[in-house]
Amino acid sequence: MTYSRIVTRDYFDGERHYRGGPFAIELRDGRIASVAPFTGSPAAGDIVAPFVMPGLVEAHAHIFLDGAELDGDKRGAYLKADLPTMMATAHANLDKHTLAGVTLVRDAGDRYGVNKAIRDELRGRDDAVISLRAPGLGIKRPKRYGAFMARDIVASSEIGPTVEDLARDGDDIKIILTGIIDFVAGTVKGEPQFNREELTDIVTTAHRLGRKTFAHCSGLAGLEVAVAAGVDSIEHGFFMTRDILARMADKNIAWVPTFSPVHFQWARPEVAGWDGATVDNLRRILDSHSEHTAIAHELGVMLVAGSDAGSHGVDHGSSLIDELFHFLHAGLPMESVLTSATSRPRKLWGLPPASIAAGQDAELIVLDRSPFEQPDALRAVRQVIVGNACAERRGEGMKPGRLDRQPETVHEAQ
């Protein structure tokens, strides 16, 4: 048996903030055995914490890509790198997620086999403090955007067999529904890659196989198709409207706004060489995105935090925290912001809640301070605990460890 006890001043359980502690959270054999008010003083070996919450969920990342690499030529050349090189990048990215307190990442696709390889490797390790949902490849149309992460569907008749094939070993079905944003023109490139009937076919087939769908989608034409077909989650969703959001709320369609890649282009225009007019477009796009995030919150749309880490200028781990700050700046309350990166994505994907309650598997993080007092506390993760495994901050990195001490020491100390 393994045992550990956390004594914390405050905690957030994935839905609500519990203040007025201290509280004791007892961990036994990798699960939360009890959560209760605590009196007296902590024993030797207790983890004394200012704040505890569930591990963070990053709902949109490309684990094989290094978002911190800013050089366009190097980024292009990397797409021809060998598998060991890409696996090494992915491992470095996992470490960055752990440093940021992320314990679950949903990958958004790559065509090199990296996301599945990483998922399978993590599943086989009992010392892992992070896990990955892997779609394998997404689906797209020939000669359209998304070649690095998706395979082509040429004829509509291929939809059924392709989705069946992807669902065999993929956790979710990723659809590249639209092109990317043309920042100079301030619009989305091209018509949607799939029409309403085709996308409905994809979603219905995926659901029949027990898989959720998530669609790369920006611009009104694509958003109309995504909502009509009832995808489970709209990714990016730039050029959002109130009307689309109202229908998303009705149909329980989640939104992962991924501010970070566009914000990077705005914050560092010299990297891509954007002129003043383009910077103005970027600012307008971001302001509208922020406004619609607030409307989404007001209408009760399931907002989920995802950064599109791996994209140009979007580093793994820290960018998820940036994304939470974009939600805060849009005016969302902290409780709701934290929900978007903890219980809500888990619920969306049909996973156990990872809440701070007796009987749950331990999947939690310890912060230096309460983010309810000081939002920057989200950037100060002290410890990550998943099952019997843990990682503790040491300098600039995280040191792996195991939670284990005997409960007797607690009784003696009391």
Can you read off the two tokens belonging to residue 70? 């800013």
Min dist. Cβ of residue 308 to Zn ion (A): 4
* Cα dihedral 95, 99, 104, 109 sign: negative
Of 87 and 256, the one with the shorter C-beta distance to Zn ion is 256
Can you read off the two tokens belonging to residue 239? 């050029």
* DSSP string covering 13-29: -SS-EE-S--EEEEEET
Min dist. Cβ of residue 332 to Zn ion (A): 22
Of 7 and 108, the one with the shorter C-beta distance to Zn ion is 108
For residues 155-187, one letter each, b for 16 or more C-beta atoms within 10 angstroms of the residue's C-beta and e for the rest, the string is eeeebeebbeebbeebbbbbbbbbbbbebeebe
What number of CA atoms fall less than 13 Å from residue 365's CA on the CB side? 31
What residue type is assigned to position 15 of the chain?
A: E
Q: From CA 306, how far away is CA 60, in angstroms rounded? A: 5
Of 198 and 308, the one with the shorter C-beta distance to Zn ion is 308
Of 37 and 72, the one with the shorter C-beta distance to Zn ion is 72
Residues that bind Zn ion (CB under 5 A): 108, 308
Per the CB < 8 A criterion, the answer to whether 285 and 262 are in contact is yes
* Cα dihedral 203, 248, 57, 2 sign: negative
Of 202 and 356, the one with the shorter C-beta distance to Zn ion is 202
Of 171 and 308, the one with the shorter C-beta distance to Zn ion is 308
Q: From CA 204, how far away is CA 195, in angstroms rounded? A: 14
